[in-house]
Structure 1
């Protein structure tokens, strides 16, 4: 009678995000620290704690995941209000760290696209896209 598939899909995406943090949390934290300093590192840790306690992907998680992606993808480079983003200039483009950052960025982007495809949060409110086109 009632289709429970949407809630199953939401839980599935939540579990994939949790698995991503479980499998790559250390690397994600280190990458954020290398690119965005202590503030970015703290955001990853805060997001992981909230993710562990949250029954769904809520607005806060979406905002934090999008911010982490922006940091990893260097979207904020050149922002005069964000002095830590210049940390990336100390990394050598051919280093193993840069390869790891690129892989993490791609995996996180895939997760964000999946979340975006849901088009709404648990309360059914329509959200905007997490990744700018």
Structure 2
């Protein structure tokens, strides 16, 4: 539970905008459709050293990497009894995912910096950069 709280705290952002795609848990629904430019594994580096924090995107899922743990949203959305919703906004440079679970809404805004770097844009203005590792 501490790990889950840490992940939500780490990624919690407040944004507004229009929604392009919406998904809810109604069986075999595909909740996430990350664009091809973001698919792969992205890790944070500090002074050239891998921080162990990052993200993994596939064609139908995205995950948060914290050290040796990987937390994937698709599994959360497909959990029995889950009443979560997800919306996505996709462009050539931005991937914005809004996830609502219970009474909590989190917005994750990823921006393409280059073919090998992305940033997660946060309301705080601290926008860490992640490097593609595969």
More strand by share: 2
Same fold per superposition (TM over 0.5): no
| Structure whose CA Rg is larger | 1
TM-score, length-scaled by structure 1: 0.27
TM-score, length-scaled by structure 2: 0.26
More helix by share: 1
